[in-house]
Amino acid sequence: MGCQGNEEDRSRAQMKVNPLAGKPAPSAMLANIPKLVKAYYTDMPDFSVPTQRVAFGTSGHRGSSFEKTFNEGHVLAIGQAICLYRKQQGIDGPLFLGIDTHALSVPAFASALEVLAANGVEVMLAENDEYTPTPVISHAILAYNRGRDKGLADGIVITPSHNPPDNGGFKYNPPNGGPADTGVTGWIEAKANEFLKDGLQGVKRMPFEKALRAATTHRHDYLNAYVSDLDKVIDMEAIRGANISMGVDPLGGAGIHYWSPIAERYGLNLTVVNEVVDPTFRFMTVDWDGRIRMDPSSSYAMRNLIGLKDRFDIAFACDTDHDRHGIVTRSMGLLPPNHYLSVVIHYLFQHRPKWRAEAAVGKTVVSSQMIDRVTAKLGRKLYEVPVGFKWFVDGLLDGSLGFGGEESAGASFLRLDGAVWTTDKDGIVPALLSAEIIACMGRDPGEICRELTREFGEPAYDRVEAPATPAQKEMLSKLSPKQVRSTDLAGEKIQAILSHAPGNGAPIGGLKVITESGWFAARPSGTENIYKIYAESFRGQDHLRRVVDAAQAIVDDAVAVAMPQAGGAHEP
């Protein structure tokens, strides 16, 4: 419960946990990489099949070449669509291009460069073909655009984040350096699907070797530009002075070669416990559902690092594109994401004197209410937005948000001087911050988490999934508070029912119901025929179970009320 352990173990208990969860991946489970790459080039998506079209979710287009959802056709179409978008918007500066370590990232990189070069785009590739984390691309875009009002840069990151090894992904970051908003991704998605429908007519490309030699193709030292700037956002002197021993597992991801230069440059006592890059990710322990997934917030996927917790003062990991973090403390093991975010907020807003007094705390509607309570104690404004890091971009850019974080262990925050660091999630700086916290507070984040629960209450948090048809998902995403007929939730009076986020008034794509000591939010999945219920109680695990049960009943009833107006489908 709360800071007593990882809430993920409990929430997965309601779903079927695979017998292999937390165990080394057996060889039979490993992706056949040659076949995966062959399918990327030889299998063409069929536009008449909706699932095989380009579909930008909250983090770009993702899929697998085995399922014809991430193939060369998709990448060529998206690449050309981005070129047209840049032209339409007058974006004519360099495009910073980065890739992670997934098997499909290298072939997708080749396809993308063929299109970008043929369209005359100035492309910045990593020196020595190095892998490049998502936050490093955001950092590079912002560094280039600082002080400019024309000739602005943008970027592409080829990554499916922490998704399984047979997945590929493609993300676009406009000149603000953050994830593209729905207006941008909707335009790119529609244009890319036009190209798919027309058999890629109108897509420009040139041979890869010619594209590499093109006058518009350049090399950029991403690694040193980012690493040399880290002491502007983290107090490296404090970490070095306290000689904090750190262990890091890059989980075979894009930051694999960043950690040693960080340690060398700043004189840190940091050990990389796993230096392997392997596209099968055979070194991982299996996630809760029996799949390999490089999720640093999963106690199953993080089993190896958790086992090393007593070797270091603090240990941490990042996912494959290094935009998410996982913190392993001696005192508690793996910290639940919500609880570490609360510790980070509690620490930062008391140790960053150059930040603006009005700088706010950004959270998503499905993040812990512990954040609300810590923020109130700090006397700071809370900025609560729908799920998606894009909602934090403008605030981080202008310094009106000191911190922005998601419940899925993604966050970024301002530089020491209050200027923007990155406008996309950065897994590296929250990881290093855990060592700064120990250096300056004399206690690890797990111990501070326990102190916060003693002061603000002990939250129990859960996330469950339930089946829903596409029609039911559509209904759920458009529910209004008046369609909820209940007046209480698990024995407490309902204080508020939200369909729009309090911070920016944007639709949350579902509902959030709040009582004095608990809440739940329900929203449909963007990729699967399920809906997700996030719930929290400050009255213990039994009350949380009642909140979850009541939430499912309230959602089912609200959808049933709405259904007759939309043709009368069945309840979830």
Three-state DSSP class for residue 513: strand
What would the two tokens of residue 483 be?
Answer: 């369609």
Question: Which stretch of DSSP H or E encloses residue 464?
Answer: strand 460-467
What would the two tokens of residue 367 be?
Answer: 């993040």
DSSP of 382-426: EEEE-SSGGGGHHHHHHTSEEEEEETTTEEEE--TTSS---SS--
Candidates 439, 510, 445; CA nearest to 473 is: 510
Give the distance between the most distant pair of CA atoms in the chain. 68
Candidates 539, 534, 553; CA nearest to 365 is: 534
Candidates 147, 152, 144, 158; CA nearest to 115 is: 158
Kindly give, in sequence order, each residue whose CB lies less than 8 Å from that of residue 282, ignoring residues fewer than 6 positions away.
Answer: 25, 27, 30
How far does CA 456 lie from the centroid of its chain? 27
Task: Write down the catalytic residue from 65, 161, 299, 477.
Answer: 161
Known active-site residue 161 = yes
Contact 233, 415 (CB under 8 A): yes
Task: For residue 381, give the DSSP letter.
Answer: P
C-alpha separations of 45 from 63, 72, 159, 173, 362 in Å: 11, 9, 19, 25, 39
Contact 105, 99 (CB under 8 A): yes
What would the two tokens of residue 263 be?
Answer: 């340690």
Question: Which stretch of DSSP H or E encloses residue 62?
Answer: strand 60-64
Beta bridge partners of 530: 467
Catalytic residues: 161
